[in-house]
Structure 1
């Protein structure tokens, strides 16, 4: 950690003088521009040191501990763009910056995140980074939580913090089995690689997502990515909740990883037109495909509702999938989407299910997307499909 060195000599411009020039509006280059340029030069050197794996050069820019935390991450690009500089205390500034980075072999475009850095003068009067953290309301990066360990699989890259190598290797195995299973169902026109992030706990998962931990309690994993992202988008990240994962058996763990991998594969065909009952139901359908799980085993909450005379009258709404709501309602929503997709696969065929998913996404916007795809691909109407699905629930779960 760099100390707060004092400015020495008349050639070093102190922060107070910089601010004074800004306030009185004197001629010449604005003081904030000067400070911003100086900070940018420090961060440029810092980025170059990251890519060169030069710990000494990195330490020369301040805060050397950050290098240790992230040094195992295979990076193809790393850069900062300073967006603003403001006073941060005596002989110190706070800088807002965009960090852009790419993971080698996975990200075809950079991931860009907002960061806040604090810089202070070192003993020689040079700016040095004292700290770096996510900007307000931005999620953490995995290395913010500790030293990142890396495990490479045949079809996967697993990054973890605070976890054993054996556990990380087990996730690589799950992902390596998930990728061919998804390709068998969906096809091979996708990256066929998965990036899995395994934080130490539920709190770590929530921090990566920039949300309260209560939103993900009981959720084993989520996938983040650009909806409708094309081939040049950053790779999706499957973010694991290790607390919930520990409660699952071997089949459940595989189903979850295959479900999340399906989201990775279908991302470019998923957009605002795609209802959650279809995107989540299809991912569950692929996850359970080949496991031999029966509807009463895979849809216990929905079975309970059907047998109590409380079968849903409509397909699940997007609101039914809220993580912060009632857990039973959330389970019924997932089970409802799965049964709808299972019915399509059984009665129209698996190829029609895939074609239906893609046709909904091709519409680009929600109104009319499902209705149009049902007519063009399945030869039915939403009303008739819903009635058939309701009967399917009674036949399979009653």
Structure 2
């Protein structure tokens, strides 16, 4: 028997160290080639580390939450054959997921909190015998799915490599079980004394660090403006009816992106990055719009590059592509960096007012609240209009309050008179 040592691979982009987010194996486990061993976290992405060999795990190189240098020992696996110690980097890591969005939505996304928790499922078929503290193999997305479904993952039989639980296994578990709706009503009044401690690591720690850093460094101020979106919603419905089948359906997002592009022509100071160490503001001609998106692993901000050169449908297609990539864990590092201004929304849960946190080093973020129908006075008459608030934040070190108000009012004028979005 020999030992195969896998070192922390070079993720690229000049990254010297990464955070070990989660182990999918433990000492003593048998693993197969291409089985995911661990998740590691870079500044932007969650990355799967697969095994290049078959064998038995004999040592783990770190604990979840530990920051490890590229090239350090990640895991040691006992393999068949004569073996002097064989050191190798893991095979090409697979980007699993970077953030999200959904600051919140995210735009185009439904926050995980929006889904009402389902009752715990009770399986009537054969269950897996695992100890109460045994952690079954499963990806973060599968664990999140199980939590949403109310399933105890340790009870689910895994059909993946080395017993890894897959999404299909959750569905199979539900198919052979039923909800606990028939449980005695008295159970609802049973005292509970359990506690759960959740280590803040991986994507959640990165989000926490970025939010804390942004609020400590930037002088945030927010500005809220009410917008009548009746006309642009009518235009959107008309365009979808006429061209939706051939060009794809339009949401409000590509119109908002277009409004940003047009408004920024008169307010270039909003499309900027501020290096507060060098005390330099860089204004950019290119408009790279970050679209805050919620994923199973947290908030991500995929970037619609060169929005100034895109049509409505081009923007819509790119937003949809990036949002799907982020939610499915397929977004690349390049797709998650380089934004110059950010759009954020909670979609239908957008509330009345929000106070979004800047996506440093940007100096402006435009927050979208939900659309509601309200009676409004128009030309002396009370009529029903579709109204929406923009709750936006700015870095007061760079942006004056009057400029911020004028910028948002310019966006308001463009959206309330949608023909002006396309007048050059």
TM-score, shorter chain, exceeding 0.5: no
More strand by share: 2
**Relative contact order (alpha carbons < 8 A, sep ≥ 6): 1 or 2 greater?**
2
